[in-house]
Structures are given as structure tokens and as C-alpha cells.
Amino acid sequence: MARTILLVEDDFDTQHPMAELLRLKGFQVITASSAEIAFHQAQEHQPDLIITDIVLPGKSGLQLIYNVRSDAVIHATPILVISGCEASILQDAQSVGANFCLPKPLHIDDFWEVLEKILISIEEPWFAWQSESAKAASASPAVVIDTLLDELDHCASDGERDDVLKRLKERILNLRPNNEGGLRV
């Protein structure tokens, strides 16, 4: 059974391609162009994930997040914010209940990585591809550290940043000189 994503975006030139891309990846996609319509659709369809912009006609995406978190039935639905708003607004989105926030313009690799993290966090991994960080786990120490530093630059939440910093610290501390003067992991 296909997972359902509610995509809330008022710009058709953004909404349509993203919805089609998600459909090509096997998701059922419901779209809305306002917070009010999105909230009613979320109540009716109970999606597995809500992806929303912040700047919407009428009520904002912040109000949508607040309403979802206040609803007894859909309050636990993961929410991903994708917005061109300044960082303080994205922090506000997290404070009212967004799981992750990504800035516009959207980098598609970051999008897939965060989407995978959200879906794994609800304990139902349903992606067939590996994230770049998983692929890098078997790479050389320098590649792994570079990958983690890149992840650190793109963290969407404080929790994600703390996780990346912890993995980076562990990786650096596990580097020990071997007998030939090189590094071993």
C-alpha cells in the first residue's frame, strides 16, 4: 500500500513538479494550496507525512502545524517544512512542532535524506535507496569525515545537528595511528 503525503504549497510551479516526483517514487500525494484546506485534508485522509510551506494565502504554515499538533487524531503526523523564510521563522516552525525544516531553494539530495530520516523515525523504512551518509560509512576516514561535515552544514534541527556532531566526534576519536604511521579506523 502506497504511503500518503500531503503536500501544501501555493506555488503551482513548485507544487506540481514535487508532487509528480513523489508519485514517481511510489507515494500517494494529496495537494493543498492553503493551510485551511490542508488541515481539513489531513483530518480526512490522515497522511503519513505533511510537507508544507510557511507562506501560504490566508493562514500560514505555522498555523497549520499548530492545528495539526492540537488535533487528537493527527497530532503525531510528521511534518516537514520547506520554505524560503528566514532562519528565525524556520526555528518558529520547529518550536510549534515541525519535525524538520529545509530552506528554499531546495537541494533534492537534502530533501531525500530528510524524507528518509522522517520515515525511518516512524519505524517504517520504506525507501529502497541508501542515503549518502550510509554509503559513506564504508568509505575512507577522510571521506566519512567530509561527508559528516557536509551533513553538519545542512542540519534542519538542533537534534539532527547534535546527532551529526556525535557521529563526527566518534569518528575522529576512533582514528588511531597504526604501526606504519598511517591511520586506521
Q: What average pLDDT does the chain have?
A: 80
**Domain count of the fold of the chain:** 2
Non-local CB neighbours of 149 within 8 Å, separated by 6+ positions: 168
**36-45, 93-102, 108-117, 170-179: range with lowest mean pLDDT:** 170-179
Pair (140, 122) in one structural domain: no
> Which domain-ending residue is among 106, 126, 146?
126
Domain assignment present for residue 184? The answer is no
Positions of E strands within 14-133: 28-32, 49-52, 79-83, 100-103
Whether the model pTM is above 0.75: no
Pair (11, 100) in one structural domain: yes
Pair (105, 55) in one structural domain: yes
Pair (157, 98) in one structural domain: no
Q: What is the 3-state secondary structure (H, E, C) of 141-159?
A: HHHHHHHHHHHHHCCCCHH
Pair (52, 119) in one structural domain: yes
**For position 141, what pLDDT does the model report?**
61
Domain assignment present for residue 82? The answer is yes
User: Which range marks the domain in which residue 143 is found?
Assistant: 130-175
Pair (119, 146) in one structural domain: no
- In this prediction, residues 71-98 reach a mean pLDDT of 90
